[in-house]
């Protein structure tokens, strides 16, 4: 059971890192700014961070709608 939880945590972290990379590349910002934007938009929409990150990686949420340094807007 512990191994399963650790694997899930690792998978979540990988997806978050991928989404940070997408945002960082698209907007030309560092990874910290990309993470802050990712986290802020997930919180604003009351979504789990991993779910929101996965939506970005899959292309279900456009990276241009998550702009670092800009306050998130309501959905």
Q: Which residue has the tokens 């306050």?
A: 71
Q: Which residue has the tokens 């990988």?
A: 14
Task: Measure the CA–CA gap between 22 and 58, rounded to whole angstroms.
Answer: 11
Token pair in block for residue 11: 């998978």
Q: Which residue has the tokens 């907007």?
A: 27
The confidence score (pLDDT) of residue 75 equals 54
**Average pLDDT by stretches of 10, the chain with 75 residues:** 86 95 94 95 95 96 84 58
Contact call for residues 23 and 66 (beta carbons, < 8 A): yes
The confidence score (pLDDT) of residue 11 equals 87
pTM (two decimals): 0.83
């Amino acid at each position: 059971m512990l191994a399963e939880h650790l694997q899930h945590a690792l998978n979540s972290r990988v997806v978050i890192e991928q989404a940070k990379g997408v945002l960082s590349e698209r907007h030309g910002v560092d990874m910290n700014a990309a993470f802050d934007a990712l986290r802020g938009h997930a919180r604003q929409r009351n979504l789990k961070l991993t779910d929101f990150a996965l939506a970005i990686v899959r292309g279900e949420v456009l990276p241009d709608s998550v702009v670092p340094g800009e306050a998130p807007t309501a959905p």
